[in-house]
A and B are shown apart, each in its own frame.
Chain A
Amino acid sequence: MSSIYISSKDVFLDTVYAKDYVQLDRVSTIYQSLKDSIKKPLKMILLYGKPGTGKSMFLTKLYKDLSATQSVYYYKTPILDESEFYKLLAQDIFDTKYSGELNFTQFMKIVEVQNNDEVPVVLLDEAQLYSEVLMEKIRLLSDTRAMKFVITLHKTEKEDLIAKEHFQTRIWETIELENASSGELKIYIQKKLMKANCFDTANMFTPKTVNKIFSLTKGNYRDTNKLLYTLFDLYLTYEESHQISKINTNYVSSKLIEMAAIHTGLIDA
């Protein structure tokens, strides 16, 4: 019989699956806003926020939702080589395989030949890793209205600069994602656990516990996932070493949260 702590631990694995998407009120509003923006004749949509605020999850969810109704292409990892980027787009969107080098001019000819009624949506995650030159080409591609780009950026000073330089004059929509509040974090944790039928562990999170987690993670989803994964790993370790009686299993103690934070590096001890 597997422990409840194993399944609870697995819930918080740092994976980006659309099925793991937790619907929170504020996040749902933002998501709906993003979906509406896709329908508009916008060239580019910028999704930005601090690392771990759920940008990738947003794109994943959007890809899953849109793929049933329209042509959507999602690139989780950036294609840093320019030729490779064009070749991949030509192959995926226009179903054109290109064996040799493909430059921007050649790719533009392929785009012009195509006469699709439906504008394909290209989702580019971690766009801050793209070079400035390639970002400029993406901007030019979006100007053709042959394809629509939804890109995610980490919100840093440098990335803001990129955004300003390349996308300032474009008709586009910007959506900012933020960390969760304490209340949202509690819902996030409990919803996540209950989705995996971990009701017992979901009830272990009291407002005090969640506040403690919030004070450590500042509501960052990735940090929270990491912390809770380690937390349940700790429970599992205590259980496996027959020391579970040493700790409180009715609610998550501050001591265990702090121990998990020390292990994950959220607390420098």
Chain B
Amino acid sequence: MSTESPSRVWNRKHILGLEELSAEEITQILDQAAEFKQQAKAGVLKLNSLRGKVVANLFFEPSTRTRTSFGLAAKRLSADTVDFSPSGSSLSKGETFIDTAKNIEAMGVDQVVVRHVTPGAPHLLSKHLKASVLNAGDGTHEHPTQALLDIFTIREKKGTLDGLTVTLVGDILHSRVARSNIWGLKKLGARVIVCGPSTLIPRDITQLGVEISYDLDAVLPESDCVNLLRVQFERQRSAFFPSIREYAHLFGLNTERASRGKEGMMVLAPGPINRGVELSTEVADGPHSVVLDQVTNGLLVRMSCLYLLNQYQDRQAERGEA
């Protein structure tokens, strides 16, 4: 089966970040994901698109949900999968990161899904591997599929991104989700506000076309969507705020705060959520929350990325034979 329309051909070997994708490419990924959603509703859960292909999940940083989501996405497309999650850094075993990846590629891998603690690690791999590389989060740089699923979820409920105000709340400095969201949201025409403690919002971020606020209560009434980023305790090298209590006091979304938000305000959170810190349990499980839709959509968006990269490879192979 083919869902490819001739006017929209995917022309990228790797998906490393949303910075380099155009609005059209982002839309193409979202549309493809929407099509998978339609098919799933019609009962078609398993597709043959990647039959005989191998997708390697290289997770050099602990992950549960993203790894599971990618693994299931590959299986839904009938790909064979290999998982590699070293306990420590590759160097501790005396092997370089590139050698590790090359060894796994030598087993006949077509696509490599990589998560790594260092920004740029997927970019480094893309220079040394023949396989397509899909960035599943590189340090504090980008996490393209997370942003795509956030944007997909917003588009699904609101119809369009154009003209919406989306507020990203929390630790912007250490958030790859924030960076990818900013690129994607801006490209699709949304207004973006970043809101959080002043120690966790780099001032240069305004050069990416976003507005800065340190007052959540002030921006909630104008926000169509709020995306509550997880406080990255593990990435902080020193104390960026005095206490979790104070963070929750200033930036935690509870029922009372949410009630002051704009009519129909959507609440997103990339998870895993620290309940009682970024958002209260009532809000997380409340009517505004789309947290579980995000998880469902994450699978579809990842299927879409794998599918499009595979389409690129198949076309290259055909060209090679012709």
The finding on whether chains A and B are genuine partners in a shared complex, rather than unrelated, reads no
Where the two chains meet, the residues of B that have a C-beta atom closer than 8 Å to any C-beta of A are none
